[in-house]
Structure 1
Amino acid sequence: MNRDEAKNILLLYRNPADAEDPQIAEALALAKNDDNLAQWFEKLCARQNALREKFRQIAAPAGLKEQIEAAVKQKLGQAARTTQFDEFKGRLLSALRYDLEKIIFSRRNFALATATVIVALIALATFWFRPQKGDDTFAIYQNQMASVALRGYAMDFMAANPVEIRSYLAKNGAPSDYNFPAALEKIPVTGCAIESWQGKKVSMICFRTGKPLPPGQQSDLWLFVVDRATVKGAPVTSMPQFTKVNRLITSVWTQGDKMYLLGTEGDEQTIRKFL
């Protein structure tokens, strides 16, 4: 089994009980001896856990089950009428907002089952994530980014070099022409992620302040950078504004055409040290 084959198998991993499957057990064993694969698998598990947590916090609206069933029947009916099943799979995968780009449909039965799950997720995403009136306001943006930091995320790129992080963000079309406050430049970076806001990319730069962290947590200070024009009601001042969002204290300011949101757990005195 090579690395790519192991990745395809580990995409099926959901909990430790799955390790009893011989193929999954072999892939897990390979990951223990392959740093690249181990890092990829760690990110995969983090994304799955974050997604599960978000799903648990969303109450299913009335009639959602019927909407999903109707969507599944319609999409699978269309798939059955076409001989270009690979094209159908591609359309489904591209519609997903979650990263499933590495899935390979190795068996027809698995392909059909996976397609069913994907259609269900598309139906859910259409209902939950469609733009609503007022969804582009500053308050919504602030709460959404704070939730990303507090509820768990997977870094898209891990690095201790700020130059490498900036290069990665630029290469992937996320805001990269940002400026750190002088105090923040002294804080070690751990990596970055690219979040989404109203169809636009948000750069999330992760820092570690040096205080003890819970197991598995790699950062405790986060900076979000977005084009100011995409956030309705964004502050126009370069003076930081402080707001408590759940456990997170946030500082928001604008500079040029960018809006910055810095967040960490604590109070205003805590976050002022990084400005």
Structure 2
Amino acid sequence: MDNREAKFILGAYRPNGQDAGDPRFSEALEQARRDPILERWFLDSLAFDAAITEKLRATEVPPGLRESILAGVKVSRPLRSPFVKWAIAAALISMAIVGSLIWHEPRKPSGLAGWQNRALDIVSALVRNESSFDAQSHNADELLAWLRVNDAPAAQTLPQELEKLESLGCKTFSWNGIPVSVICFTRPDGGLIHLVATNAVAPIKRTTKGQPELVQQGQWATATWREGDKIYMLAMEGSRDQLRAYLL
């Protein structure tokens, strides 16, 4: 299966994950995991579908909208079927919502660099089981060793609080040709926390050495810092105060 065929199949993938067990979808999903560009397109497609679904669920039909819409529709003969009338109304409402999303949906805040947003997309796909780890182990040292053997960015030492946690697995990807790695850990409260590592080279943002830079972006709290020739980002779904506990 090539990217063209995989993209065609994944275009029909439902965002709730219920198609993951279908053999044809499974093959297309595997193709997306192998190709970063296809995987990025797929993740963006899922996010867009989810946004439209949420908008539709939250939209209440104003009183009299049906009559107003149908009054403006010119037809050659009367629409006798109630189903047809409501189908037209629903289609017009959907078009209005899609247009609103395209022109007015806010972009991701600029507080994080491109590689950081890409890392959060990868982590989100792992959490939703839409992507898979390259290596799995409950021992973070084994994952660090795997990353080094495969010439991927790896921390020389883990932050002290992360050393106390059980790891799940790691994944590698590239951003603008620059290798990036992520290791996922299980927190004591059952949540997850993720350590992202990359090389401190252009066009990666040059984070200053010293105290980590904390950013809250939606549900994600991140801390970014530089050590030697590496830049690290610690990320979790929660608040910056929760994240600080893992930086002590």
TM-score (normalised: structure 1)? 0.50
Segments of structure 1 that go 5 or more residues without pairing to the other structure are: 1-11, 22-39, 60-136, 214-219
Segments of structure 2 that go 5 or more residues without pairing to the other structure are: 1-8, 14-18, 50-110
Distance 1:159 1:16, change over 3 A: closer
Q: Does 1:245 align with 2:217?
A: yes
User: What is the CA-CA distance between 1:190 and the residue it aligns to?
Assistant: 1.0
Q: Match of 1:216?
A: none
* Cα distance in 1 between the residues matched to 2:136 and 2:177: 24
Structure with the bigger percentage of helix = 1
- Answer yes or no: is the 8 Å Cα contact 1:160–1:190 preserved in 2: yes
Q: Match of 1:158?
A: 136
Q: Match of 2:88?
A: none
Moved over 6 A (4+): none
Distance 1:171 1:222, change over 3 A: same
Q: Match of 1:54?
A: 44
Larger radius of gyration: 2
Q: Match of 1:139?
A: 113
Q: Match of 2:152?
A: 174
Deviations 1:134-177 (A, max 9, x none): xxx96222222122222443211010112211121112110124
Q: Match of 2:236?
A: 264
The 5-angstrom pairing of residues 9-20 of structure 1 reads 15=19, 18=22
Letter of the structure 2 residue corresponding to residue 55 of structure 1: S
- Answer yes or no: is the 8 Å Cα contact 1:138–1:231 preserved in 2: no
Deviations 1:188-245 (A, max 9, x none): 11110012122121121110103246xxxxxx11111101114443211221110012
* Cα distance in 1 between the residues matched to 2:213 and 2:144: 25
Distance 1:230 1:205, change over 3 A: farther
TM-score (normalised: structure 2)? 0.55
| Aligned pair partner of 2:123 in 142, 145, 149 | 149
Letter of the structure 1 residue corresponding to residue 119 of structure 2: M
Q: Match of 1:196?
A: 174
Q: Which moved more, 1:224-233 or 1:188-197?
A: 224-233
CA RMSD of aligned residues (A): 3.6
Q: Percent identity?
A: 25
